[in-house]
Chain A
Amino acid sequence: QQQVKQSPQSLIVQKGGISIINCAYENTAFDYFPWYQQFPGKGPALLIAIRPDVSEKKEGRFTISFNKSAKQFSLHIMDSQPGDSATYFCAASNQIIFGKGTRLHILP
Protein backbone atom coordinates (compact mmCIF):
# COMPACT_ATOMS: atom_id res chain seq x y z
CA GLN A 1 0.00 0.00 0.00
CA GLN A 2 1.59 3.21 -1.15
CA GLN A 3 1.00 5.96 1.37
CA VAL A 4 2.25 8.84 -0.80
CA LYS A 5 1.24 8.97 -4.47
CA GLN A 6 3.16 11.32 -6.76
CA SER A 7 2.44 12.48 -10.29
CA PRO A 8 3.48 12.92 -13.00
CA GLN A 9 6.27 10.40 -13.31
CA SER A 10 8.10 12.71 -15.71
CA LEU A 11 7.62 16.30 -16.77
CA ILE A 12 9.05 18.46 -19.53
CA VAL A 13 8.74 22.23 -19.19
CA GLN A 14 10.05 25.08 -21.29
CA LYS A 15 12.54 27.46 -19.69
CA GLY A 16 10.65 30.19 -17.90
CA GLY A 17 7.53 28.07 -17.50
CA ILE A 18 5.87 26.77 -14.35
CA SER A 19 6.58 23.20 -13.24
CA ILE A 20 3.87 21.57 -11.13
CA ILE A 21 4.24 18.27 -9.33
CA ASN A 22 1.43 16.77 -7.30
CA CYS A 23 1.28 14.42 -4.34
CA ALA A 24 -1.53 12.79 -2.39
CA TYR A 25 -1.30 11.06 0.95
CA GLU A 26 -3.55 8.74 2.89
CA ASN A 27 -2.54 8.88 6.53
CA THR A 28 -4.10 11.87 8.28
CA ALA A 29 -1.53 11.48 11.06
CA PHE A 30 1.20 12.81 8.77
CA ASP A 31 2.16 16.29 9.88
CA TYR A 32 5.23 17.22 7.89
CA PHE A 33 5.55 17.27 4.12
CA PRO A 34 8.99 17.89 2.61
CA TRP A 35 10.07 18.01 -0.99
CA TYR A 36 13.47 16.65 -1.93
CA GLN A 37 15.52 17.41 -5.02
CA GLN A 38 17.94 14.80 -6.32
CA PHE A 39 20.51 15.32 -9.04
CA PRO A 40 22.08 12.33 -10.81
CA GLY A 41 24.75 10.70 -8.70
CA LYS A 42 23.79 12.67 -5.60
CA GLY A 43 21.68 11.99 -2.55
CA PRO A 44 18.35 13.75 -2.10
CA ALA A 45 18.50 17.23 -0.59
CA LEU A 46 15.69 18.99 1.23
CA LEU A 47 14.20 21.69 -0.99
CA ILE A 48 11.21 23.01 0.93
CA ALA A 49 8.75 21.65 3.49
CA ILE A 50 5.36 22.50 4.94
CA ARG A 51 3.22 21.66 7.93
CA PRO A 52 -0.53 21.11 7.49
CA ASP A 53 -1.48 24.16 9.54
CA VAL A 54 -0.69 26.45 6.57
CA SER A 55 -2.00 26.28 3.02
CA GLU A 56 1.03 27.67 1.23
CA LYS A 57 4.74 28.18 1.72
CA LYS A 58 7.00 30.04 -0.64
CA GLU A 59 10.78 30.10 -0.82
CA GLY A 60 12.14 31.97 -3.80
CA ARG A 61 10.85 30.32 -6.97
CA PHE A 62 9.55 27.27 -5.08
CA THR A 63 6.06 27.14 -3.57
CA ILE A 64 4.22 24.35 -1.79
CA SER A 65 0.43 24.43 -1.91
CA PHE A 66 -1.30 22.28 0.70
CA ASN A 67 -4.93 21.12 0.73
CA LYS A 68 -5.58 19.36 4.01
CA SER A 69 -9.18 18.38 3.28
CA ALA A 70 -8.19 16.77 -0.01
CA LYS A 71 -5.01 15.30 1.47
CA GLN A 72 -3.02 16.72 -1.41
CA PHE A 73 -0.01 18.96 -1.78
CA SER A 74 1.93 20.23 -4.73
CA LEU A 75 5.24 21.82 -5.64
CA HIS A 76 5.26 24.77 -8.03
CA ILE A 77 8.52 25.91 -9.59
CA MET A 78 8.12 29.37 -11.10
CA ASP A 79 10.34 30.60 -13.93
CA SER A 80 11.78 27.09 -14.34
CA GLN A 81 15.45 26.96 -15.28
CA PRO A 82 17.59 24.26 -16.88
CA GLY A 83 19.41 23.95 -13.54
CA ASP A 84 16.14 22.78 -12.00
CA SER A 85 16.29 19.61 -14.08
CA ALA A 86 16.38 16.86 -11.47
CA THR A 87 14.21 14.23 -9.83
CA TYR A 88 11.81 15.57 -7.23
CA PHE A 89 10.39 13.48 -4.41
CA CYS A 90 7.54 14.44 -2.16
CA ALA A 91 7.57 12.82 1.22
CA ALA A 92 5.62 12.55 4.46
CA SER A 93 6.51 12.09 8.11
CA ASN A 94 7.27 10.61 10.56
CA GLN A 95 10.02 8.45 9.22
CA ILE A 96 10.22 9.73 5.72
CA ILE A 97 7.90 8.00 3.26
CA PHE A 98 8.75 9.04 -0.26
CA GLY A 99 6.62 9.34 -3.35
CA LYS A 100 7.95 7.59 -6.43
CA GLY A 101 9.53 10.73 -7.80
CA THR A 102 9.10 13.02 -10.79
CA ARG A 103 11.85 13.41 -13.30
CA LEU A 104 11.76 17.05 -14.39
CA HIS A 105 13.48 18.25 -17.52
CA ILE A 106 13.60 21.93 -18.37
CA LEU A 107 14.12 22.70 -22.03
CA PRO A 108 16.52 25.57 -22.69
Chain B
Amino acid sequence: DAMVIQNPRYQVTQFGKPVTLSCSQTLNHNVMYWYQQKSSQAPKLLFHYYDKDFNNEADTPDNFQSRRPNTSFCFLDIRSPGLGDAAMYLCATSRAPGTANIQYFGAGTRLSVL
Protein backbone atom coordinates (compact mmCIF):
# COMPACT_ATOMS: atom_id res chain seq x y z
CA ASP B 1 0.00 0.00 0.00
CA ALA B 2 1.28 3.42 -0.94
CA MET B 3 2.40 5.39 2.11
CA VAL B 4 3.22 8.69 0.43
CA ILE B 5 0.70 9.55 -2.24
CA GLN B 6 1.10 12.33 -4.72
CA ASN B 7 -1.64 13.70 -6.91
CA PRO B 8 -1.86 14.13 -9.73
CA ARG B 9 0.85 11.96 -11.27
CA TYR B 10 0.97 14.24 -14.30
CA GLN B 11 0.06 17.92 -14.36
CA VAL B 12 0.00 20.25 -17.31
CA THR B 13 -0.28 23.98 -16.79
CA GLN B 14 0.17 27.12 -18.82
CA PHE B 15 2.94 29.62 -18.46
CA GLY B 16 2.07 31.91 -15.56
CA LYS B 17 -1.02 29.96 -14.45
CA PRO B 18 -0.90 29.00 -10.76
CA VAL B 19 -0.76 25.30 -10.03
CA THR B 20 -1.00 23.23 -6.85
CA LEU B 21 0.46 19.79 -6.30
CA SER B 22 -0.66 17.66 -3.40
CA CYS B 23 0.90 15.06 -1.16
CA SER B 24 -0.63 12.90 1.53
CA GLN B 25 0.91 10.38 3.87
CA THR B 26 -0.37 7.51 5.99
CA LEU B 27 2.79 7.19 8.07
CA ASN B 28 1.93 9.92 10.59
CA HIS B 29 5.41 11.33 10.10
CA ASN B 30 6.30 14.72 11.51
CA VAL B 31 8.35 15.94 8.58
CA MET B 32 7.25 16.44 5.00
CA TYR B 33 9.61 17.51 2.23
CA TRP B 34 9.27 18.82 -1.30
CA TYR B 35 11.97 18.18 -3.87
CA GLN B 36 12.33 19.29 -7.47
CA GLN B 37 13.96 16.82 -9.84
CA LYS B 38 14.78 17.87 -13.38
CA SER B 39 15.58 15.38 -16.09
CA SER B 40 18.76 13.37 -15.41
CA GLN B 41 19.47 15.41 -12.29
CA ALA B 42 19.42 14.73 -8.58
CA PRO B 43 16.44 15.76 -6.47
CA LYS B 44 16.87 19.22 -5.04
CA LEU B 45 15.28 20.08 -1.72
CA LEU B 46 12.92 23.06 -1.94
CA PHE B 47 11.60 23.17 1.63
CA HIS B 48 10.25 21.05 4.42
CA TYR B 49 7.78 21.18 7.26
CA TYR B 50 8.64 19.89 10.70
CA ASP B 51 5.16 19.70 12.15
CA LYS B 52 3.86 23.21 11.44
CA ASP B 53 7.28 24.82 11.23
CA PHE B 54 8.17 25.75 7.67
CA ASN B 55 11.83 25.58 6.62
CA ASN B 56 12.73 27.11 3.28
CA GLU B 57 15.99 26.35 1.50
CA ALA B 58 17.97 29.52 0.85
CA ASP B 59 17.94 29.16 -2.93
CA THR B 60 14.28 28.22 -3.37
CA PRO B 61 12.59 30.84 -5.56
CA ASP B 62 9.76 32.89 -4.05
CA ASN B 63 7.56 31.51 -6.79
CA PHE B 64 7.34 28.29 -4.79
CA GLN B 65 5.19 28.16 -1.68
CA SER B 66 3.91 25.38 0.52
CA ARG B 67 1.06 24.70 2.89
CA ARG B 68 0.57 21.98 5.45
CA PRO B 69 -2.97 22.16 6.83
CA ASN B 70 -2.60 19.00 8.92
CA THR B 71 -0.18 16.13 9.59
CA SER B 72 -1.33 14.11 6.60
CA PHE B 73 -1.35 16.66 3.81
CA CYS B 74 1.14 19.02 2.27
CA PHE B 75 0.74 21.18 -0.83
CA LEU B 76 3.20 22.74 -3.23
CA ASP B 77 1.97 25.95 -4.84
CA ILE B 78 3.72 27.42 -7.85
CA ARG B 79 2.38 30.92 -8.20
CA SER B 80 3.52 31.74 -11.73
CA PRO B 81 5.06 28.72 -13.40
CA GLY B 82 7.78 29.35 -15.93
CA LEU B 83 9.11 26.99 -18.56
CA GLY B 84 12.07 26.30 -16.30
CA ASP B 85 9.77 24.92 -13.61
CA ALA B 86 8.87 21.89 -15.69
CA ALA B 87 10.19 18.99 -13.63
CA MET B 88 9.29 16.04 -11.46
CA TYR B 89 8.20 17.15 -8.00
CA LEU B 90 8.79 14.65 -5.24
CA CYS B 91 7.22 14.61 -1.82
CA ALA B 92 8.90 12.74 1.00
CA THR B 93 8.29 12.17 4.70
CA SER B 94 10.35 11.20 7.70
CA ARG B 95 9.58 10.59 11.33
CA ALA B 96 11.92 13.37 12.41
CA PRO B 97 14.40 15.67 10.71
CA GLY B 98 18.11 15.10 10.57
CA THR B 99 20.49 12.23 10.57
CA ALA B 100 19.40 8.68 9.93
CA ASN B 101 15.71 9.46 9.69
CA ILE B 102 14.74 7.53 6.61
CA GLN B 103 12.89 9.54 4.01
CA TYR B 104 10.03 7.84 2.22
CA PHE B 105 9.31 9.23 -1.21
CA GLY B 106 6.14 9.39 -3.22
CA ALA B 107 6.08 8.50 -6.90
CA GLY B 108 6.19 12.15 -7.89
CA THR B 109 4.16 14.55 -9.98
CA ARG B 110 5.55 15.36 -13.40
CA LEU B 111 4.76 18.99 -14.22
CA SER B 112 4.71 20.27 -17.76
CA VAL B 113 4.48 23.99 -18.50
CA LEU B 114 3.16 25.02 -21.90
Binding site for B on A (CB under 8 A): 31-32, 34, 41-46, 49, 51, 89, 93-101, 103
Contact = CB atoms under 8 A, between A and B. Distances in A.
Contacts of A34: 102
The 3 closest A-B pairs by CB, nearest first: A43-B105, A98-B42, A32-B99
A57 to B, nearest CB: 13
B19 interface: no
Interface residues of B, number: 22
Interface of B: 4, 33, 40-45, 48, 90, 92, 97-100, 102-108
Given A95-B98, A99-B42, A103-B40, 8 more contacts: A31-B99, A43-B108, A44-B90, A46-B103, A51-B100, A94-B98, A97-B45, A101-B42
Given A89-B42, A95-B48, A43 B98 contact: no
Given A95-B45, A100-B42, A101-B41, A45 B99 contact: no
